[in-house]
Homo-oligomer: A and B are copies of this chain.
Amino acid sequence: MARLYHFMLCPFSRRIRLALGEYGVDAELIEERPWSLTRALLKLNPSGALPVFIDDDRVTVAGIEAVSEYLEETRAGTGGAATLLGATPVERAEVRRLVAWFDVTFHRDVSRNVIVENIERRFAAPEHGGGAPNMQAVRNSLSHIRGHLDYIGRLVEERRWLAGDRLSHADLAAAAHLSCLDYLGDVPWSASDGAKGWYARIKSHPCFRPLLADQIRGMPPPRSYADLEF
């Protein structure tokens, strides 16, 4: 069976867990903690970036872009799995533009700080950056979230999914980041009906179920996190 090295509240790992569900790939999940990676993980990916996917034939694929493109190349169109990248170069360009919107811009402006301050500071040893969270940094980052919800809302006014008519890695990337913040109770869904409606749709997909069952020990999510009518 394939294996995925991941961390529950790593948005890149979450995107691949969602993609595995959509492509219909079973994988054993192996938990890593980004603030104290195992030697096994660093051997698989010297940069330390999660996730890392080990295919059935032991091919190692490291890092979010490598894994997402590898799964599309090897799993889309097989066994009934649809493409998650798009059918033409132009469609794929739009999916990849929006993936970068969330994996680069949203991550830099919002999710990275919120996750580092709330999770890594809490669980890491002091020598690995543990300590009191910088709540001002968290508030600064969260102040940017409404602009992104607005953007999602504007996209789904004109499209069924973020990049077009079909679910794509753009939706999975956006949902992966937002679901990490939602686990922490930090998404003001009432700020955008459009974004909320889009998230309700993707949250009810079967691929989302494993994520909704996630529980970090000593840090349970709010009840709304797993509620399909949040």
Contacts and interface: CB of A to CB of B under 8 A. Distances in A.
Nearest to A106: B47
Interface string A51-85: 00000000111111111011001100000000000
Nearest to A60: B93
A90 interface: yes
Contact-residue size bin, chain A (C-beta under 8 Å from the other chain)? 20 to 34
Contacts of A60: 93
A69 B97 CA distance: 11
A93 B105 contact: no
A100 B49 contact: yes
A36 to B, nearest CB: 18
A49 B108 CA distance: 13
Nearest to A68: B96
Contacts of A49: 100, 104-105
B62 A97 contact: yes
Contact of A93 (B59, B96, B97): B59
Interface string A81-105: 0000000011011101101110011
Contact of A47 (B47, B73, B93, B101): B101
A45 interface: yes
Contacts of A100: 47, 49, 63-66
Contact of A96 (B66, B89, B97): B66
A111 B172 CA distance: 29
A72 to B, nearest CB: 9
A66 B47 contact: no
Task: Please list the 3 inter-chain residue pairs (A to B) with the smallest Cβ-Cβ separation, ordered nearest first.
Answer: A66-B96, A63-B100, A61-B93
Given A63-B104, A65-B99, 14 more contacts: A47-B101, A47-B104, A47-B105, A49-B104, A62-B93, A63-B100, A65-B96, A66-B97, A66-B100, A67-B93, A69-B69, A69-B92, A70-B92, A70-B96
5 contacts: A46-B151, A47-B105, A49-B104, A69-B69, A70-B89
